[in-house]
Each structure stands twice: as structure tokens, then as C-alpha cells.
Amino acid sequence: MKNNLLSRRTFVKTTSLGVTGSALSIGGLSSIYLAAPQEADKLAILGGSPVRHAGTNLEVSWPIFDDTDIKMYLDAFKSKKWSEYSYSPQELSFRFKKAFAEMMGVGFCAPTNSGTDALDAAQRALDIGPGDEVITQTNTFIATAQTTFNLFALPVFVDTDPETFMINADLIEERITENTRAILPVHIGGGAADMDKIMAIAKKHNLVVIEDTCQAQHGEWNHKKLGSIGDLGCFSFQAGKSLCAGEGGAVIGNNDDIMARVEAYTNNGRDPRGMKRTFPGSNFRITPFVATTLIGQMRRLEAQSKIRDENVAYLEKLLSEIKGVRPTKKYAGQTRRAYYEYQLIYEKEHFKNVPKIKFREAIAAEGIPLGNGIDSSLHKDPFIETYFNLRTFKKIFSKERLDKYRRENLCPVNEMIDKETGVSLGQRVFLGSKKDMEDIVTAIAKIQKNASKLL
Ligand SMILES: Cc1ncc(COP(=O)(O)O)c(C=O)c1O
């Protein structure tokens, strides 16, 4: 506690409460910080004591499970039914897909063995293929675009909204061509893309919408679950996600025919409505072990989301008292956020122009694991040229078309966010205590006060 820059009295007042009764009532964090004793002042990166001492990790141990999860897993193991493909109600994967569809408020769910495969199956079911274009964003995990390239189609990267860090929906229409088939927005970090605008554009141009919801399980748009707004929604259950099973994924949707194609693709072409092989297919089936792990994890998703919601509300209240690090904005339709990487905006002018990279080093030394936001600028990634150099790509796309693609492939705002403003905190941070939130803001205020020493 010695170096916690919130006074002990303030700490006691704030930790046991929710967002009310906070430190802010006595003058704001900055002023609390300014009143802190000098010995707490020296930045950890310059040899001082950190706000968080080693061994007091801000990120809770993840994933979380209990004896019931272990029993469920062992039961699946002992059953000796180690693979499932018949869609019979006795199967664990069937139970999972019904439960997930219900949780998401949709008619159908097709489990897959990763989020990447969910995106693949979704695009294949919509018959996206050679020469097509899919409008997506640059600040996402590589799989979003890779799965389009894998179909010999082109992901067209749209720049990022500097305030929300979501795809800038106002820039979508100008990228639509006669080859565009789909819009693939990503609910990046757990926030929501502007689905009202995106759906209106899709309707106007007769395009399908696939929501990459891999980072946004349980978020909502106008009180409907993210992933259920577009034609299809794709999820990842990789270990870092807030609903996880190590590896795993799912596609959700409401259209019987489209979802039958998705499901068939995941199950070697078997139409779930009779098991005839009437569609193209591969094998993306999940194991019963993944299914039972997910059924177990779903028991705690809502409770965990509530804890994160409360901690984020408290953090945002504390942050409103200082300048220089602020939450990204949300669109009006976002009625609930989800959690993967909570994104914030760093404004160096409030830190004597200390560059983001230096700020992140300083706050890491204080024991706060502040990430770089969703730091990919995929439009600049060399993987694009890797595809373009394939013999098969050269066969499908003319040199002129690929040159045009290169010329138009610009996302300057996202590059600025990567370099200057984007920072983030992982979902595990928000399963901690109110004091954890205070430590984050204390560390920010400490660096702000001492910013000139970092130059
Ligand atoms: C936005 C996004 N899309 C797709 C994926 C791919 O999911 P998976 O790792 O389960 O294949 C991820 C995974 O991190 C992701 O974050």
C-alpha cells in the first residue's frame, strides 16, 4: 500500500463500493495524486517503486474453471464418444449449439473448430469466391482477411474511425465495386461496429453482412446480441476469449438455408436437415470435449460480464477526472459492450508529448499491462503480397487489378492510431477489484505528473 497514490482513507472509501462514493468526490484523482508523498513519486521506470508490486498481477488467472467443469470434461472423456457428427440431441456438440443459439437469440448455430474456420465456413456458405471483394477493416486479427484471401477473393480494407476504433462506416460506400459481395465488419476489442449504418448500406447495394464477433461475445446492438444482426455472425472460443475452450468457434444466423450450408460445410457436406451430402464440405467439427467445456463456461459468462461492466464503469468514472487517457467512444446503438481488449485513446499532449511507446514502457514498469490496442494495420502487412505472388492468384487477377488494389489500399487513420493513440487493457483486468481500477488511474496520474522526466 505504501506506494499507492490514493490515500488510505480514499482507498477504503472506494474499494468496497461500486461506482458511487468514489475518490473523485474529494477533488479528483489528479489532485489526490498531487498530494501524495514524495517517496511515492519516482517513476518505476526510473528506479522508483511501482504502483503495483511484482506478484500482484492485474490480470486474473485465466481461464477460470471449477470442479463441475472438470467433472463434465471427465464424463465426456469416459463416455468414449470422442467424436460427434450426427446432430443427435444426445451429443454434447448438439447441446452446445442449441444452448449457444438460444443465448444469442438466433435460430441456428454451427459450431466450428476455430473462429478462423467460422469465417471460412460463413464465406463459403455465401458462395464468396475467386474475383469477389469483401469489405472489411484493417484493425483486426489476420484471420478476418486471410479467410477471404484463401477463397481467392480480395479483402478490401476500410479505414478506422479515430474515436471508436471501429470500421469507419462512412467510408464503406466509396469502396463498393461491381465485385463487392459482402461487408465483414469486426466488433473489435468487444465494442460494436455501427451496425445500423452497415446494414443500411448492405441493403442499398444488395450485399450480405458477416459480423466478425470473435472478440465480442455477449455484446449487444439495440439489445440484440452482436453476431445476430447481419446475415451471419462468427465467433472464436480460443483461450483468450471471454467464452473459451482452448480452440473452437461458431457461426450463427437465422436463415435456414444459409445456415444449412454453413453447417454442411463444417460436416463434410452433410445437410443437417436429413444428412444428405448436398453441399460442398470440409471437417470443422468440434469435439465433445470442446462442447462440454463451452457448456461449462457459459454458466459464468453473464456473471463475469457484469463484473467487467462494473469495473469498466468505475474506471471510466475515474478516467473522466484526468486528461490524456480516455475510453474510445461508442455508437448510440451499442447497448452493451463485450470484452476482449478494452480500447482507450492516449493523448500525448497531456503528457508533455511523451510518445505512446514510452508511455507504455513507463506504465508497464508501474505494473500495469497496457496493450497497444488492436495493433494490426493489416492493409500494410506483407501477407498480402504473399497471396499476390501465388501462381493461382496471378491466374485469377490481372496485374492492373492488383496494382489498383495496392494504390487504393490506404488506411492513414489506423496507422496514426497504431503509432500515436491506441492503447488497451485485456478482459482479464476487468475481473479484478475496484482497487485494480484505481491502480491503473494512479499509475497514469503518476506518469502524467512526472512526464517531463521521460523526455
Ligand atoms: C477478430 C478476430 N477474428 C478472427 C479470429 C480467429 O479466431 P481463432 O483464433 O479462433 O481462429 C480472432 C481470434 O483472435 C479474432 O480476434
CATH code assigned at 238 = 3.40.640.10
- Going by pLDDT thresholds of 50, 70 and 90, the confidence category of residue 250 is very high
Note whether residue 402 is domain-resident.
no
- Ligand 1: atom nearest CA of 248 is 10
Is residue 158 domain-shared with residue 208, that is, in the same domain? Answer: yes
Is residue 304 domain-shared with residue 292, that is, in the same domain? Answer: no
Note whether residue 422 is domain-resident.
yes
Is residue 254 domain-shared with residue 308, that is, in the same domain? Answer: no
CA–CA dist 361, 96 (Å, integer): 42
CA–CA dist 388, 394 (Å, integer): 7
Host domain of residue 306 = 8-62+300-374+417-454
Judged on CB neighbours under 10 Å (0-12, 13-18, 19+), 85 is middle
Probe residue for ligand 1, chosen from 123, 134, 215 as the CB with the greatest number of ligand atoms within 8 Å: 215
Boundary (domain end) residue, out of 255, 273, 297: 297
- Going by pLDDT thresholds of 50, 70 and 90, the confidence category of residue 126 is very high
pLDDT of residue 390: 98
- Ligand 1: atom nearest CA of 119 is 4
Contact of 288 with 91, CB cutoff 8 Å: yes
Determine the distance separating the centroid of ligand 1 and the alpha carbon of 445, expressed in angstroms: 34
Answer whether residue 261 shows pLDDT above 50.
Answer: yes
pLDDT of residue 40: 66
Contact of 254 with 224, CB cutoff 8 Å: no
Count other C-beta atoms under 10 Å from residue 15's C-beta. Answer: 14
Phi-psi region of 406 (alpha: psi -120 to 50; beta: other; left: phi over 0): alpha
Determine the distance separating the centroid of ligand 1 and the alpha carbon of 143, expressed in angstroms: 6
Q: Does 236 sit in the ligand 1 pocket, CB within 6 Å?
A: yes
Is residue 36 domain-shared with residue 83, that is, in the same domain? Answer: no
Q: Does 426 sit in the ligand 1 pocket, CB within 6 Å?
A: no
Summarize the confidence of residues 193-212 as an average pLDDT: 98
Q: Ligand 1: which residue has its CA nearest to atom 5?
A: 115
Answer whether residue 21 shows pLDDT above 70.
Answer: no
pLDDT of residue 374: 79
Which residues lie below 8 Å from residue 389, measured CB to CB, with a gap of 6+?
Answer: none
Model pLDDT for residues 32-53, shown as the tens digit of each residue: 455 455 556 899 999 999 999 8
Is residue 288 domain-shared with residue 310, that is, in the same domain? Answer: no
CA–CA dist 308, 218 (Å, integer): 12
Probe residue for ligand 1, chosen from 238, 243, 290, 378 as the CB with the greatest number of ligand atoms within 8 Å: 238
Note whether residue 379 is domain-resident.
no
CA atoms within 13 A on the CB side of 207: 28
Contact of 87 with 108, CB cutoff 8 Å: no
pLDDT of residue 95: 97
Answer whether residue 265 shows pLDDT above 90.
Answer: yes
Summarize the confidence of residues 104-122 as an average pLDDT: 98
What is the CATH number for 329?
3.90.1150.10
pLDDT of residue 36: 53
Contact of 185 with 138, CB cutoff 8 Å: no
Summarize the confidence of residues 120-132 as an average pLDDT: 98
Is residue 176 domain-shared with residue 213, that is, in the same domain? Answer: yes
Q: Over pLDDT 90: what percentage of the chain?
A: 87
Note whether residue 395 is domain-resident.
no
Q: Ligand 1: which residue has its CA nearest to atom 8?
A: 115
Secondary structure letter of residue 454 according to DSSP = G
Query: Of the given ranges (105-119, 225-239, 266-280, 379-393), which has the lowest mean pLDDT?
Result: 266-280
Answer whether residue 150 shows pLDDT above 50.
Answer: yes
Q: Does 284 sit in the ligand 1 pocket, CB within 6 Å?
A: no
Note whether residue 308 is domain-resident.
yes
Judged on CB neighbours under 10 Å (0-12, 13-18, 19+), 267 is buried
Q: 76: which 3 cell numbers?
A: 465426456
In 3D space, the residue among 139, 203, 213 whose CA is nearest the CA of residue 173 turns out to be 203
pLDDT of residue 375: 66
Is residue 339 domain-shared with residue 260, that is, in the same domain? Answer: no
- Length in residues, the chain: 455
Q: Ligand 1: which residue has its CA nearest to atom 7?
A: 115
Is residue 51 domain-shared with residue 81, that is, in the same domain? Answer: no
Summarize the confidence of residues 310-327 as an average pLDDT: 97
Q: Of all helices (H) and strands (E), which one includes residue 354?
A: none
Is residue 202 domain-shared with residue 250, that is, in the same domain? Answer: yes
Amino acid (one-letter) located at 362: A
Helices (H), 164-287: 195-205, 256-266
Distances (CA, A) of 25 to 10, 16, 31, 60, 114: 10, 15, 11, 29, 47
Determine the distance separating the centroid of ligand 1 and the alpha carbon of 1, expressed in angstroms: 39
pTM: 0.92
Dump the DSSP string for 34-55: HTS-GGG-S-GGGTS--SS-TT
Dump the DSSP string for 143-195: HHHHHHHTTT-EEEEEPBPTTT-SB-GGGTGGG--TTEEEE--B-GGG----H
Determine the distance separating the centroid of ligand 1 and the alpha carbon of 259, expressed in angstroms: 20
Q: Does 211 sit in the ligand 1 pocket, CB within 6 Å?
A: no
Boundary (domain end) residue, out of 269, 297, 325: 297
Is residue 71 domain-shared with residue 130, that is, in the same domain? Answer: yes
Boundary (domain end) residue, out of 254, 270, 297: 297
Q: Does 450 sit in the ligand 1 pocket, CB within 6 Å?
A: no
